[in-house]
Amino acid sequence: MIRAVYPGSFDPITNGHIYISERAAALFDELIVAVLVNPEKRSTFSEEERQIMAREALVHLPKVKYFNGLLVDFMRQQQSRIIIRGLRALSDFEYEFQLAQMNRQLAPEIETFFIVTDAKYSYLSSRAIKDAFQFGGAVRDMVPPGVYRRLRERIPPRNL
């Protein structure tokens, strides 16, 4: 059985993340969507909220977990040798390539697979969603319904 891990902060999960998750799930026997807990980064949503939103959005994919620390350590704990990363643009590749090279140095047995998103999601990021929403942008069709509801509860609109 080949188990892959799709890690990310998912703060919040977007339709682009769901697209990458579904593509990866079709390629491997099992996919774990791994929500990163990073104490250095100030998240809009808590680890628990991000995990709940991911589970709601990916109800058809049974494994959503959280982790902190090194990804390669989590990979070993999960007995996985495949990291999934989504690419939207060339700028993503440079950053992701550096991460893949670092992970390769730390754990040569682990491979990184890049999945290019659909063009309709090429502009989506969690940060862009939150920024657009805060300034009154229509993001309802860019995120799952549960995420949209939580955005409305969490982020007050700015009146300019």
Residues with catalytic function: 17, 41, 88, 126
Those residues with Cβ within 8 angstroms of residue 136's Cβ, 6 or more apart along the chain or in another chain? 157, 158
d(C-alpha 58, C-alpha 104), whole Å:
28
The position carrying tokens 């709940």 is: 52
Hey, which residues does 35 pair with through a beta bridge? Answer: 8, 66
Give the whole-angstrom CA distance, residue 121 versus residue 112: 21
